[in-house]
Structure 1
Amino acid sequence: MAYQTFQQEYLQIPVVTRTYTTACVLTTAAVQLELITPFQLYFNPDLILKHYQVWRLVTNFLFFGPVGFNFLFNMIFLYRYCRMLEEGSFRGRTADFVFMFLFGGLLMTIFGMFVSLVFLGQAFTIMLVYVWSRRNPNVRMNFFGLLNFQAPFLPWVLMGFSLLLGNSIIVDLLGIAVGHVYFFLEDVFPNQPGGGRWLRTPSFLKMLFDTPEEDPNYNPLPEERPGGFAWGEGQRLGG
């Protein structure tokens, strides 16, 4: 019975969020069980180009370090904001969401070569947080019950928290930068005088992922989206 309940809950998670978070958890589990090592996963342009280890283009986004506080912290934020995006502004637009993943991953891979980062999963999480925060500017956030602020400040609060933990902020800055590029090209520039839409989801992705929306008028408020964590919990102003 418990297994069936878990299976039902698991299958209710949107497909992109479910796939990505599951891949991250399974990758970490495989490392913990010593089935693979981080040396087989990290981003290395030389090994990719000269030895055709192309899987590193993907696996460097799946490993967040050994199981511990940092891993759990990243998984909670990844799951929470990935799901809120997929069920919010990307509802019924799975192909567009996948395209954002591909666009963000490509930019991070290019930038990652210049800043010598070997794992980009945390930067990818920050990118998701950034895009969600800019699309929900009126949501009030509460971080660990200590700070109250508007949603657009959340990526910077996370960067400050990362700094307090002694981590490098280069990863956070990369996620913020890529998130801003996507947000500008997708949400800002098309609405500017003389602007246009530069990001167009390829038709083959739409054929693969998009299905007719059951209720095109459904637009859940942040309070109706997944939550329950005090780490960056939000409430819409006036709600």
Structure 2
Amino acid sequence: MAYQTFQQEYLQTPAITRAYCTSCVLTTLAVQLDIITPFQLYFNPDLIFNHYQVWRLVTNFLFFGPIGFNFLFNMIFTYRYCRMLEEGSFRGRTADFFFMFFLGGLIMTIISFFVNLVFLGQAFTIMLVYVWSRRNPYVRMNFLGLMNFQAPHLPWVLLGFSLLLGNSIIVDFIGIAVGHVYFFLEDVFPQQQGGFKILRTPGILKMIFDSNPEDPNYNPLPEEERPGGFDWGGEGARPEDAPGDRPQDGQGDNQNQNQ
């Protein structure tokens, strides 16, 4: 029964989220089982360009370290916010979502040439969290039962949490910076006077990802019931407003959301 439930939930996960999270888990398991080593995965410009190990451009985003608290923490956040973005503001726009993945990864890779970083998975997670939080500014959150805040503060709370754990916050800063660049170019600048749309998804991506119509019977779970939404010590998510009072898509959900 548990296996069937997991299988059903896995197959209902949107395509990009399912592919990325599955790749992260399989990569980590391969390292854990000594099939491969982190030395074959990390970002190294010399090995990429002089020895043609181009897979490192991708694999450095897939490894979050050995299985433990840090890995589980990052995977929970990656799965949750990646899925909420794909089911929310990117619903029916898989090509646009993939293009965001590509742009975010490209910018982080360029930054890595100037900053000594070998794995960028955590920065990528923070980017996803940042974009979601800015598109849902009215969602109230509770972190570890210790503090209440609105969604746009979540990336900074996670940065502070990384600092408390003794981790390097430069990774979080990069994720926030790249997320802000995407949010500004996609959501802010086109709405300003004299602004225009800068980011345009290539037609070939639309042909690949958006050729199949969306299932008309598909209904994403309500925010408070979505997988990955673990109660970190709060009282549980509860809507504060009637459905008719909720903001339109892209403007946020006025509800309490525990993290």
TM-score > 0.5, shorter chain as reference? yes
| Preserved CA contact (<8 Å) 2:24 2:63 | yes
In structure 2, how many angstroms separate the alpha carbons of the residues matched to 1:168 and 1:236? 36
| Deviation for aligned residue 1:141 | 0.6
Equivalenced residue count is 239
The percent identity for this pair of structures is: 78
Given the superposition, is the C-alpha separation of residues 167 and 138 from structure 1 closer, same or farther in structure 2, using an over 3 Å criterion? same
RMSD between aligned residues? 2.1
Is residue 118 from structure 1 mapped to residue 118 from structure 2 by the alignment?
yes
In structure 2, how many angstroms separate the alpha carbons of the residues matched to 1:237 and 1:110? 43
In structure 1, how many angstroms separate the alpha carbons of the residues matched to 2:31 and 2:191? 45
Partner of residue 28, structure 2? 28
Bigger helix share: 1
Q: Which segments of 5 or more consecutive residues in structure 1 lack a partner in the other structure?
A: none
**How is 1:126-205 mapped onto 2 (pairs within 5 angstroms)?**
126-205=126-205
Partner of residue 39, structure 1? 39
| Deviation for aligned residue 1:8 | 1.8
SS at match of 1:82: helix
SS at match of 1:61: coil
SS at match of 1:148: strand
In structure 2, how many angstroms separate the alpha carbons of the residues matched to 1:188 and 1:237? 27
Deviates more, 1:222-231 or 1:193-202: 222-231
In structure 2, how many angstroms separate the alpha carbons of the residues matched to 1:226 and 1:38? 29
| Preserved CA contact (<8 Å) 2:57 2:109 | yes
| Preserved CA contact (<8 Å) 1:140 1:234 | no
Letter in 2 for 1:183: F
In structure 2, how many angstroms separate the alpha carbons of the residues matched to 1:236 and 1:113? 45
| Deviation for aligned residue 1:227 | 4.4
Letter in 1 for 2:21: T
Given the superposition, is the C-alpha separation of residues 179 and 48 from structure 1 closer, same or farther in structure 2, using an over 3 Å criterion? same
| Deviation for aligned residue 1:7 | 1.9
Given the superposition, is the C-alpha separation of residues 234 and 127 from structure 1 closer, same or farther in structure 2, using an over 3 Å criterion? farther
SS at match of 1:114: coil
What TM-score do you get using the length of structure 1 for normalisation? Answer: 0.94
| Preserved CA contact (<8 Å) 1:185 1:199 | yes
Deviations 1:81-101 (A, max 9, x none): 000001000111100000000
| Preserved CA contact (<8 Å) 1:141 1:235 | no
Deviates more, 1:95-104 or 1:6-15: 6-15
Is residue 223 from structure 1 mapped to residue 224 from structure 2 by the alignment?
yes
Letter in 2 for 1:29: L
| Preserved CA contact (<8 Å) 1:88 1:220 | no
| Preserved CA contact (<8 Å) 2:80 2:229 | no
Given the superposition, is the C-alpha separation of residues 222 and 2 from structure 1 closer, same or farther in structure 2, using an over 3 Å criterion? closer
| Deviation for aligned residue 1:45 | 0.7
| Deviation for aligned residue 1:226 | 3.8
| Preserved CA contact (<8 Å) 1:162 1:169 | yes
